[in-house]
Amino acid sequence: MSFTRTPAGLSNQHRFHRVDAVVFVEGGDISYSFNDVVNGYSGTASPDIAFWRKIFDRFAGNLRVVIKPVGSKSTLRQLAAQVATKEINHIFVAMDQDEDRFTGQLVNANGVFYTWGYSWENDVLQKDVIVEVILTLTPVDRMELEQRVQEVCARELAAFQKEVAPFTRVDILFKIRHGALFPSNEYKSLIKSANQHNRPPQLNVSKLKRMLHQKKPWSRRQRPFRLPPSTSVRADRDTFGHLYCTYCYRLLLHICSTYAAVPVMALVNAAALAARVFADSMSVTTMGELHTHYVRQFAFIHE
DSSP 219-285: HHTSPPP---TT----HHHHS-HHHHHHHHHHHHHHHHHHHS------HHHHHHHHHHHHHHH--TT
Tens digit of each residue's pLDDT (9 = 90 or more) over 203-240:
999 999 999 888 765 555 555 556 655 568 899 999 99
First to last CA, the chain: 35
Beta-bridged to residue 91, according to DSSP, are 22
Tens digit of each residue's pLDDT (9 = 90 or more) over 140-189:
788 888 999 999 999 999 999 999 999 999 999 888 887 889 988 889 99
Cβ within 8 Å of residue 121, ≥6 positions away? 241, 242, 244, 245, 248, 271
pLDDT of residue 15: 86
pLDDT of residue 2: 44
Looking at residue 274, its amino acid is A
Cβ within 8 Å of residue 225, ≥6 positions away? 170, 173, 174, 176, 177, 219
pLDDT of residue 227: 63
Tens digit of each residue's pLDDT (9 = 90 or more) over 77-122:
999 999 999 999 999 999 999 999 998 899 999 999 999 999 999 9
For 28, the 3-state DSSP assignment is coil
Q: For residues 291 and 284, is the Cβ–Cβ distance under 8 A? A: yes
Q: What is the chain's mean pLDDT, rounded?
A: 87
pLDDT of residue 245: 95
pLDDT of residue 46: 87
Quote the pTM value: 0.89
**CA dist., res. 251 & res. 130, Å (int):** 9
pLDDT-based confidence at residue 56 (cuts at 50, 70, 90): very high
Cβ within 8 Å of residue 292, ≥6 positions away? 284
pLDDT-based confidence at residue 276 (cuts at 50, 70, 90): confident
Tens digit of each residue's pLDDT (9 = 90 or more) over 22-53:
999 998 888 999 989 888 888 888 889 989 99
Query: Count of CB atoms within 10 A of residue 74's CB?
Result: 12
Looking at residue 279, its amino acid is A
DSSP element (H, E) containing 127:
helix 127-137
For 16, the 3-state DSSP assignment is helix
